[in-house]
């Protein structure tokens, strides 16, 4: 490990990451550079400095600190004036992150303005409000990715609105559906996540200037004005009461990130399942050499879906951990702050990596219609046995129709024959259904129910939410 003394505007040389999300080797599999930049050391420190600059602007406007001092603090509250190596060394000694930053900023502004740096504030004001500034950027990035995902899913659902395939329940073939319907289910879920993301913003994008126990006694009668003006500078909401030990907003955010991750994992898992050799209906886009086995030359592994599924599970654990942070004592709790330093930043990074991975797959997703057709006929017509039952039910009753078709399916399986042939040999069937009726009932395309209508309905919701002119579709 190299350690080099860094002057103002420099930082220490990066060390090898231990976690997969910040590893030089594994990192690009789980994280995006855009989200890593938001939550990296530079992004975090600049958010803290932005808080200090806003605090100084607000306090100068209110006549609490001199205008000259405020201007100097604003000018120097930038990374280039901070010795990050020296700051980290002091952090190791003192154990709290903000005091070293305050001292660095005080050194940068000079003795006259130094006395007004961090005036009336406390560590948690800076770490919480700084984190919220990072969350806002991260939410914008996630929302953009979700929008892109909606566009891709909508195009795919529209394209495959009429592509008939097997619907499966409990790992078994059940009844026909359309692939567009399957994708529209994914799209509807992502649209709901977009709504949740927009709804959570007012509860998360809230800062605070509250002092050590949240009473803001250090600022006296000007406390409310300082908080209001500081947060106005940062374009954040002001809370009705201090939230040092009220972390429900951040816990809700962690849960939302896990919800989104779960949906992404479900999509990736479905692609993995339908990519099985024995099914072969979907596949990741082919890139020469990608997914190659180290020993089996014939393999083309679905390599990009796997970290998406893993990310969903990691995000679930982040949501679970965030619930523990809710339990705090007194006016400042010992321990939960340290959990939060990693919890949400890592959750955002993991989620964005999953989004980026999925977005690298879906636009070029290989949909093998011929395998879908072949799989529909795998059971020799029995995938639409329910259609025959319902066609016969008006004549002999549903229960009797179910028992009869069940027995005929059993006969077909035992004799390895097509269901149509077995049906047309039965006198009860032929007494009520013509050969033409039986053929029509056994056509999978005739038994997809409302799949197309529901797909269209979701596409309408998509256009209303994301297409500038709903009369023009993004999917054409």
Q: Is residue 5 part of a domain?
A: no
* For range 373-378, the mean pLDDT: 97
- Tokens describing residue 214: 């949240």
Side-chain-side CA neighbours of residue 21 (13 Å) = 24
Q: Say whether both 246 and 355 belong to one domain.
A: yes
For position 402, which CATH number holds? 1.10.40.30
- The greatest distance separating any two alpha carbons of the chain, rounded to the nearest whole angstrom, comes to 103
User: What is the dihedral angle through the alpha carbons of 461, 254, 269, 21, rounded to the nearest 10 degrees?
Assistant: 130
Separation of alpha carbons 176 and 165, rounded Å: 6
* For range 382-389, the mean pLDDT: 97
* For range 321-326, the mean pLDDT: 90
Q: Say whether both 316 and 403 belong to one domain.
A: no
* For range 182-186, the mean pLDDT: 98
pLDDT of residue 47: 97
Q: Say whether both 204 and 268 belong to one domain.
A: yes
Q: Say whether both 294 and 323 belong to one domain.
A: yes
Nearest 5°: the CA angle 88, 89, 94 is 90
Residue 173 has pLDDT above 80, yes or no: yes
Final residue belonging to a domain, choices 368, 398, 429: 368
Question: pLDDT-based confidence at 1, cuts 50/70/90?
Answer: very low
Q: Say whether both 337 and 277 belong to one domain.
A: yes
Q: Say whether both 138 and 262 belong to one domain.
A: yes
Separation of alpha carbons 337 and 125, rounded Å: 12
pLDDT of residue 3: 43
Q: Say whether both 249 and 392 belong to one domain.
A: no
Q: Say whether both 262 and 395 belong to one domain.
A: no
* For range 382-408, the mean pLDDT: 97
pLDDT of residue 348: 96
Neighbours of 328 (CB within 10 A): 17
pLDDT of residue 328: 86
> Which residues, other chains included, contact 123 with Cβ-Cβ below 8 Å and sequence gap of 6+?
96, 97, 98, 99
Q: Say whether both 386 and 356 belong to one domain.
A: no
Q: Is residue 270 part of a domain?
A: yes
pLDDT of residue 338: 81
Catalytic machinery residues: 293, 332
The number of angstroms, rounded, from the C-alpha of 149 to the middle of its chain's C-alpha atoms is: 11
Q: Is residue 217 part of a domain?
A: no
Q: Is residue 430 part of a domain?
A: yes
Q: Is residue 198 part of a domain?
A: yes
- Tokens describing residue 179: 């692939």
How many folded domains does the chain comprise?
2
For position 154, which CATH number holds? 1.20.200.10
Q: Decide which of 31 and 199 is more confident.
A: 199
Domain that holds residue 200: 125-160+174-210+237-368
Separation of alpha carbons 303 and 292, rounded Å: 9
Q: Decide which of 299 and 98 is more confident.
A: 98
Q: Is residue 291 part of a domain?
A: yes
Q: Is residue 47 part of a domain?
A: no
Q: Say whether both 435 and 310 belong to one domain.
A: no
> Long-range contacts of range 376-381, CB-CB < 8 Å, 24 or more positions apart?
376/164, 376/165, 376/166, 376/176, 376/444, 378/166, 378/173, 379/173, 379/419, 380/412, 380/416, 380/417, 380/418, 380/419, 381/412, 381/418, 381/419, 381/420, 381/442
Angle of the 179-204 helix axis to the 123-159 helix axis, nearest 10: 160
pLDDT of residue 2: 41
Name the average pLDDT for the chain.
Answer: 91
Q: Say whether both 400 and 432 belong to one domain.
A: yes
Q: Is residue 252 part of a domain?
A: yes
Final residue belonging to a domain, choices 368, 401, 416: 368
Please name which of 166, 339, 137 lies closest in space to residue 254, comparing C-alpha atoms: 339
How do residues 246-283 score in pLDDT, each as one tens digit? 999 999 999 999 999 999 999 999 999 999 999 999 99
Separation of alpha carbons 60 and 54, rounded Å: 10
Strand partners, 237: 206
Q: Say whether both 246 and 151 belong to one domain.
A: yes
Final residue belonging to a domain, choices 338, 368, 398: 368
């Amino acid at each position: 490990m190299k350690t080099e003394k860094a002057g103002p505007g420099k930082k220490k040389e990066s060390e090898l990451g231990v976690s997969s999300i910040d590893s030089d080797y594994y990192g690009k599999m789980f994280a995006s550079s855009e989200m890593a930049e938001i939550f990296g050391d530079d992004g975090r420190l600049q958010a803290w400095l932005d808080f200090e600059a806003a605090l100084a602007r607000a306090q100068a406007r209110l006549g609490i600190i001199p205008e000259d001092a405020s201007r100097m603090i604003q000018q120097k509250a930038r990374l280039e004036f901070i010795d990050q190596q020296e700051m980290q060394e002091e952090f190791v000694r003192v154990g709290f992150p903000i005091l070293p930053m305050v001292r660095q900023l005080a050194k940068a502004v000079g003795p006259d303005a130094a006395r007004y740096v961090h005036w009336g504030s406390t560590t948690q004001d800076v770490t919480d409000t700084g984190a919220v500034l990072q969350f806002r950027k991260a939410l914008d990035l996630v929302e953009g990715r979700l929008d892109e995902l909606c566009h891709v899913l909508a195009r795919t659902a529209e394209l495959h609105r009429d592509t008939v395939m097997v619907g499966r329940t409990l790992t078994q073939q059940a009844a026909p559906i359309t692939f567009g319907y399957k994708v529209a289910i994914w799209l509807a879920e992502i649209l709901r996540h977009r709504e949740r993301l927009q709804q959570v913003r007012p509860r998360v994008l809230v800062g605070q200037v509250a002092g050590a126990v949240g009473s803001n006694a250090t600022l006296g009668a000007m406390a409310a004005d300082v908080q209001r003006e500081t947060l106005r500078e940062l374009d954040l909401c002001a809370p009705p009461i201090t939230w040092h030990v009220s972390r429900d907003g951040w816990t809700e955010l962690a849960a939302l990130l896990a919800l989104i991750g779960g949906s992404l994992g479900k999509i990736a898992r479905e692609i993995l399942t339908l990519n099985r050799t024995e099914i072969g209906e979907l596949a990741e886009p082919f890139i020469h050499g990608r997914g190659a086995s180290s020993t089996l030359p014939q393999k083309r592994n679905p390599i990009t879906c796997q970290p998406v599924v893993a990310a969903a599970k990691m995000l679930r654990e982040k949501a679970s951990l965030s619930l523990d942070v809710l339990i705090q004592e007194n006016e400042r709790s010992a321990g939960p702050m340290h959990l939060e330093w990693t919890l949400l930043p890592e959750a955002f990074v993991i989620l964005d990596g999953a989004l980026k991975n999925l977005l690298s797959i879906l636009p070029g997703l290989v949909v093998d219609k011929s395998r879908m057709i072949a799989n529909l006929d795998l059971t020799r017509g029995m995938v639409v046995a329910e259609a025959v039952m319902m066609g016969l039910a008006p004549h002999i009753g549903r229960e009797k129709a179910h028992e009869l078709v069940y027995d005929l399916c059993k006969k077909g399986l035992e004799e390895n024959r097509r269901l149509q042939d077995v049906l047309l040999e039965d006198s009860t069937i032929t007494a009520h259904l013509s050969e033409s009726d039986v053929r029509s009932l056994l056509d999978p395309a005739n038994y997809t129910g409302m799949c197309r209508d529901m797909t269209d309905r979701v596409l309408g919701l998509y256009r209303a939410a994301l297409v500038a002119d709903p009369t023009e579709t993004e999917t054409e």
